[in-house]
Each structure stands twice: as C-alpha cells, then as structure tokens.
Amino acid sequence: MHFNTIENWVKESAQLTSPASVKWCDGSQQEYDHIIATMLKDGSLLSLNDKYRNCYLHRSHPSDVARTEQQTFVCPRDRDDAGPNNNWLDPQQAHAKVDALFRNCMQGRTMYVIPYCMGPIDSPYARLGMEITDSPYVVANMRIMTRMGEQALARIKRGEAEVVRGLHSVADLDPQKRFIMHFPEELLIKSVGSGYGGNALLGKKCHALRIASSQARRQGWLAEHMLIAGIEHRGETHYVAAAFPSACGKTNLAMLIPPDKYRQDYKVWTVGDDIAWIHVGDDGRLWAINPEAGFFGVVPGTNEHSNPNALSMIDHDTIYTNVALTADKEPWWEGKLSGKPHTNWKGEPHRGDAPAAHPNARFTVASKQCPSYSPAAEGKQGVPLSAIIFGGRRSTLNPLVVEAFDWSHGVYMGATLSSETTAAATGKVGVVRRDPMAMLPFCGYNMGDYWSHWLSLQQQATQLPRIFQVNWFRCDDSGKFLWPGFGDNLRVLQWVLNRCRNEVDAVNTPIGYLPNATDIDCEGLDVSDATKRELFAIDRQGWQDELTAIASYFSTFGTHVPPAFAAQAQRIRTQLDNS
Ligand code: OXD
Ligand code: MN
C-alpha cells in the first residue's frame, strides 16, 4: 500500500474525530515513559508497591471488562462471506453507523498514530499495521504487544506490502454505542466505545486473527488462535501449536515447567501464547511464527503451581488491568498464594465473597521477560511444527488425549471442538458452545470456507504435522477434575512427541488413536487405574449424541461445509455401531 494512502487516511480520520493534536508514535522508551507519566498524572494508571518495579495498575470502566462478541462485526460486501459465525452488516451501513460515533469523538484528546509490525521485524512472514487511537493505555499496551514504531514505519513507508489500518476511539465508553467492525476487503478495522483488550489493542484479535485469517485464505496460509511451544528432549526440540478457547490455559501450557521427575530430560520453550501464523515452508513442512511481542494474559489463577514462569515475569515492567490490591499496594488476584485483597478491581474496599480481581483481569508484559522464551521466536522463518493440538474445556465425553487418523480427520476434529465458556468474553460462563479450532470469535470469514481452506493444505504441504485433541478438564460426578493438569500435562505431551517420533503404538478406536494404558505415565500422581480408565473411556451413547449435535451445528453452514466432514461423521457412526 502506498504511503500516501496511509497519510491521507490519517488526515481524514483526524478531520472526522477532531482531536486536539496528532502524534505519530516512534516506539521509543522515552515515549513510553512519557505516556506512563501522563497516565499516572491523570489517574488512569496507578503505581504499585516498589517491589513491583515499573509495574502499574489500570482500572477499566466497570462496563468494559472483556471482548464483546455481540458487538463485533465482520463486513464483507457479501453476507455469505461472513458466514453464520459472524455478525454482519453491509459495509456501507457499517461505515455510516460507526462514522457517526467517531464524529468529533476525540475533541480535547491526542490522536496517536501507531505504526506496528506483527511478527519479527525482519521476517518475510511478518505483517504491517497502523492503529489510530485516542487511548494512551492502548499506546502503552501496543508497545509491549507488537513491534511498534520507527522500524515498522520504515517498512510501511517502503510501500511494498499490505497494511492493515485500524481506527480506534474509546469515545464515551457507552456500551450501547460500542462496535468493533472489520472490513476484510479494505484491510480496515473500526473500533469505538471500548478501551479493553481485544476490542482496543487492534493488532491482536482484530488484525492478527480476523483480518489476517481472510488474508491467509487468499494467500494460502493460516492465522490461528494457538500457542506455540518447543519441547526439548535429548537435544532435539519438537514444536507444537495448540488451539484452546480463551482462558483455557494456553499461556500456562506455553510456559509449562515439567514435573520434577522430568526436569532433567525435558524443557519447554515458549514461542507464543495466543496466536500462530502458519505457512508452508520450502521444505513442505508447516512453519509457525508468533506475530506478537508480548503476552496479554489472564491473571487470576496464576501462581507458583499453575505457571511459575508467568509469575516471575510479571513482577516487573508489567501493566496490570483490573486486579485487586493488598493494603500495601501489591497486585492481588484470586489464586495468588500470598497477601490478601484490600481493594477490589473497581477500587472499592474488598468485602464478602465477590471476586476481588475481575475474573478477566490481565497482565501485559513483553515476551522477552518470560524465562522460557525461545530464541527461535525471534527467528525470521519461525519454527517447524511436529504436531497441532486442539483442546476444549469439557467436563464430560472428550478423552484426555486422542490422535487423529490423518489430516482430514484432524481437521474434522478441530472443527468439532467445543468448550464451556469462560470470562474472557461477556456472557454466561460455563455453557457448552461449539468453538471450531477455538476460532469461533476470531475467524474473519465463513467458517465453512475456513474448514475447506484447512483441508486444502493437504495439496500444498508434503509433510503435515500430526493432529491431536486434548481435554484437561474432565470431571467426576462430583465436579472434581480427574486430571491434575498444569505441569503434569507434560505427561500427555510426552505421548504426543512419542507418537510424532513413531516410538509408541496406539489403540485404534472409532474416535481416533488412544494411548495404551501404560503409555501415559501416571507415576506419582493421584490418578487411580479406575480414573485412568475413565479418562480414556468411550461413552458410545454420548458420542452418538455428540455426532447428532455436531451435524446440526454443521448444517447451519449449509453448502459451505466440506463434503469430507460427512464422510468422517459417517465413518465414526458406523464404527461406534459396530464396536
Ligand atoms: C484473549 C482472548 O484475550 O482469547 O487472548 O480472549
Ligand atoms: Mn486468545
């Protein structure tokens, strides 16, 4: 895109929104320090106890605490291109609707222009973006989450690549006037009325997933809601990408520390915790980069047990959003093992049973602060994938781990992913919803076409990763988790790796390959043989019902559903009947 086009868009945006001044961000430390100082002065950031060097607390508006999917729209000209998975408006109508809200909305404020790069700055797979915002909080967060500033601008000025533009304003934060609009055909995002996370840091969900997924479809690659981790064993590192719905432990898995008995032999390297851009390499394998430069992670539940790496990276140079405070101004959240809450996330005295930190409270921190951050994450080419893992939060039915027979079955497995909802999006928590590839809120085009696109990689790649499905969240009748999770998930990853290296065989079942009982090491765990059997039991009636639910879900995508899926379902049904 020609740089003139971008300059004109910045001018037009300023004419529309009438800011007091316009500032092009250079991404420097000095600029960051200045923004922080301004926010400390106006009260939108609070400083924390000195033990937390360069850490700050931001309290968002209490009605603006999570992504708002019902106000998020994908607006290609043809409604069918958005699919039943997206809210849609005719692009002209959508522009008119939001432009009315943008009119003069920046009066008295500074308009910041943020050039940014998603992915290592010198990577051929990195992509460029430009966000305009009136929120200093967004500027500070974008500096941590992306490669922002001079170098990105230099690449943009060269004009050789596509640039995704995003116009953002907090406006008056009125939830009724909050819209997150995507125009994939124009590579454009317009977000108004929210200052929170994925609604406002446009590089993340809006650019790197919704718009990028539609670019990826056009250009033959994948933009996915996946962590990327390297598992090192005896000098060899295998990389896996894993898709889980929001707030289902991607960050914890990406930063896993092996249990004691494995610590000598295994080391997990973090490449990314939320987004993977996957392309076919010259060698016919799939390679992944993490387009982000930081983590915007869920804070509650983070502790020495669940994620020691995260805990140690967030005690300095971190922006906290919506956590509670102890009496001596240390950040506090549910699951923190020390201190006690004095002030809740809204800044009120903490009382009673209500959570002190908001369940979707977040930390923003540079990836480089993570002790397990992989040097390969900064490499130009990304990392080659040995396995892709899909995981949902299901208290019943889905086994601890199962491997797909082949790519086509694996894609079907990903497409049938479902999960109980969490606090990462507004709405009811704990309801089972279908969340194909954990991309339901993030796929920027018709999900039926997206599945076909996944299947089409078979024609492009010569050595595809194996595909697995995991479920750390199986419960017994009393609601108690059957599997310890966290670091012990390495025991499952070990099986995944052994399968990738063709070192163990597996049991052929209607739903895929299951581990032999002895191949998942449970030594030292409070997992009885009976529990283990339950973790891998196939509930025949449950699966038949699941197939019916899946078929009815797929039918909402009409003719867009790949025919290969019906064949998969038919095979599973027949094998369940016959087994
Ligand atoms: C996130 C999300 O913020 O998925 O990563 O909601
Ligand atoms: Mn996410």
163 lines ligand 1 (CB under 6 A): no
**Nearest ligand, measured from the Cα of 298:** 1
Ligand 1: distance of its center to the CA of 204 in Å?
Answer: 9
Tell me the pLDDT tens digit for each residue of 124-167: 999 999 999 999 999 999 999 999 999 999 999 999 899 999 99
Ligand 2: distance of its center to the CA of 8 in Å?
Answer: 33
Q: Which residues pair with 288 in a beta bridge?
A: 278, 383
131 lines ligand 1 (CB under 6 A): no
pTM over 0.95: yes
Atom of ligand 1 nearest to the CA of 362: 3
**Nearest ligand, measured from the Cα of 224:** 2
Q: What is the mean pLDDT of residues 556-572?
A: 97
Q: Which residues pair with 309 in a beta bridge?
A: none
Rounded Cα gap, residues 360 and 535, in angstroms: 29
- Residue among 315, 249, 240 nearest 278 (CA): 240
Tell me the pLDDT tens digit for each residue of 490-532: 999 999 999 999 999 999 999 999 999 899 999 999 999 999 9
Ligand 1: distance of its center to the CA of 196 in Å?
Answer: 11
- Residue among 62, 64, 32, 60 nearest 46 (CA): 60
H or E element that contains 165: strand 163-169
67 lines ligand 1 (CB under 6 A): yes
Cα distances (angstroms) measured from residue 255 to each of 306, 323, 374: 10, 21, 10
If one looks up domain 3-45+70-219 in CATH, what number appears? 3.40.449.10
Burial class of residue 260, CB neighbours in 10 A (0-12, 13-18, 19+): exposed
CA nearest ligand 1 atom 2, residue:
246
Q: What is the mean pLDDT of residues 561-578?
A: 96
246 lines ligand 1 (CB under 6 A): yes
274 lines ligand 1 (CB under 6 A): yes
Ligand 2: distance of its center to the CA of 28 in Å?
Answer: 27
Ligand 2: distance of its center to the CA of 510 in Å?
Answer: 31
Mean pLDDT of the chain: 96
> Does domain 224-293+375-578 correspond to CATH entry 1.10.443.10?
no
Q: At 199, which amino acid appears?
A: N
Tell me the pLDDT tens digit for each residue of 205-256: 999 999 999 999 999 999 999 999 999 999 999 999 999 998 888 999 999 9
Query: What is residue 424's predicted lDDT score, i.e. its pLDDT?
Result: 74
Contact (Cβ atoms closer than 8 angstroms) between residue 490 and residue 522: no
72 lines ligand 1 (CB under 6 A): no
Tell me the pLDDT tens digit for each residue of 386-430: 999 999 999 999 999 999 999 999 999 999 999 988 777 777 777
Atom of ligand 1 nearest to the CA of 442: 4
Angle, helices 3-17/91-102, rounded to nearest 10 degrees:
60
Tell me the pLDDT tens digit for each residue of 15-55: 999 999 999 999 999 999 999 999 999 999 999 999 999 99
Query: What is residue 1's predicted lDDT score, i.e. its pLDDT?
Result: 86
CA nearest ligand 1 atom 4, residue:
246
Domain boundaries, the chain: 3-45+70-219, 224-293+375-578
* pLDDT tier, 322 (very low <50, low <70, confident <90, very high otherwise): very high
**Nearest ligand, measured from the Cα of 225:** 2
197 lines ligand 1 (CB under 6 A): yes
Q: Which residues are catalytic?
A: 248
